[in-house]
Amino acid sequence: MLSENRSVDLSLSAGAFTGPAGVTRLQVESQVESIARMRLRVAFLILIAGASLAGIAGCHRSPSADVVATVNGKELMRAELDRNYKASLGDAPQKLSPEEADIRRLTILHQMITDEILEQRAGKLNLAASDEDVNAKITELKAPYTQEEFDNQLKQRDMTLDDLKRNIRRSLTKDKLINKEIESRVNITDAEISTYYAAHKAEFNLIEPQYHLAQIIVTSAPAQQSGNLQNSKASNDADARKKIQILHNRLESGEDFGAVAMNFSEDPNTASNGGDMGFVAESALKADPQVYDALNKLKPGQFTDVMPLAGPGNKPIGYAIYRLLSRDPAGQRELNDPRVQQAIHTTLHNNRVQLLENAYFEKLQNEAKIQNYLADQILKQGAQ
């Protein structure tokens, strides 16, 4: 199966991997799994923070209790960390132990530090998002809601309009920085596509019919990031039902499926690609008869009605809209097939961008002067 995986809901919530059963079915992580992963990361995060703190110990005045970190002298405030922490818990806060809560706070602060580093870098390159950019995104974000509903969304997340604008500005600024520093420098040649095809030719030999699909996913599960351009995330089942129906209405009114998916779908694996799921084997689709039957009633280019989305144990977790892009018979697909070339190009491009992004972030972190007071406090408490 070919896949095109990659890399401001009012919340700072995390996405989930979604799709038809047996293919890219939504993978919902339990809090236990999430906390376990954070436990594995926390030692690394504290080690990095501790190293930077060790080098500056005794060289700076004690920070205010309201400051949790500084990046090149810019203070990151505890109030923002607390707000992000609260948002990460969703509408039904879990009962975390003090250690688990600190693990989560440290992870969130690490992301805040990374965001600040990127924002400062963008500022030096004159890539900061303009007020016009921010206001345009605010208008798009408000589109599905009445003013009262929009205000309630902010209130539920303990955010002001200024908070939202700041998050949007940061997100747009980061996109502009990555586009200039990374995306614009990635060039995939025909020779590279040919080499990849030669090495993976068997993967393009379809032993059964394949369905090229796109999807728009909305979930009711709290998450840390949405994966779409608007950072739009439903916070409960009622919100999810309303959101997916609004999106379906927009599709029926003629809006582009890919654009709607990029802006509002909550699957971080496919939203950035306009919801494109790649090619799905017929046998995998048959694992979900409802989805399979709905897709076989469509012509290429058409999309389904709103469909329920189930997780492990067939537990309802959200809603989906699927679009049939093509239905391909079994057999070898050759390199001269434009779809084969596009799929390989996307795979190579995304892999290279991800590699360069990781290296770029590490480079900027190495150059930054970071003082993580929360990590310092955790280390001191652990030594007592």
Is residue 111 one of the residues assigned to a domain? yes
Instruction: Please indicate, yes or no, whether residues 229 and 87 belong to a single structural domain of this protein.
Output: no
What was the pLDDT predicted at 7? 36
122 and 57 share one domain: yes
Residue 193 inside a domain? The answer is no
pLDDT one-digit tens code per residue, 357-379: 999 999 999 999 999 999 999 99
What is the pTM for the complete model shown?
0.60
Asked whether the beta carbons of 265 and 271 are under 8 A apart, the reply is yes
Residues 179 and 231 in one domain: no
Is 272 strand, coil or helix?
helix
Residues 6+ apart with CB under 8 A from 114: 361, 365
Asked if residues 137 and 177 have their Cβ atoms less than 8 Å apart, the reply is no
Statement to judge: residues 222 and 272 lie in one domain: yes
Q: Could you read off the pLDDT of 190-223 as tens digits, one per residue?
A: 999 999 999 999 989 989 999 999 999 998 876 5
Does 222 lie in the same domain as 119?
no
User: Distance (Å, rounded) from C-alpha 125 to C-alpha 177?
Assistant: 8
- The Cα 352–Cα 364 span in angstroms is 18
Domain count, the chain: 2
**Per-residue pLDDT at 280:** 92
Please indicate, yes or no, whether residues 289 and 161 belong to a single structural domain of this protein.
Answer: no
Question: Any idea what the CATH number is for the domain that residue 254 is in?
Answer: 3.10.50.40
Paired tokens of 348: 């190579």
Question: In sequence order, what are the residues at sequence separation of 6 or more whose Cβ sits closer than 8 angstroms to the Cβ of residue 273?
Answer: 4, 6, 262, 346
Q: Using 70 as the pLDDT threshold, list the residues of the chain that sit under it.
A: 1-62, 90-94, 144, 222-231, 383-384
Classify residue 27 by its DSSP letter.
B
Structural domain span for residue 323: 206-332
The answer to whether position 267 is within a domain reads yes
pLDDT of residue 92: 54
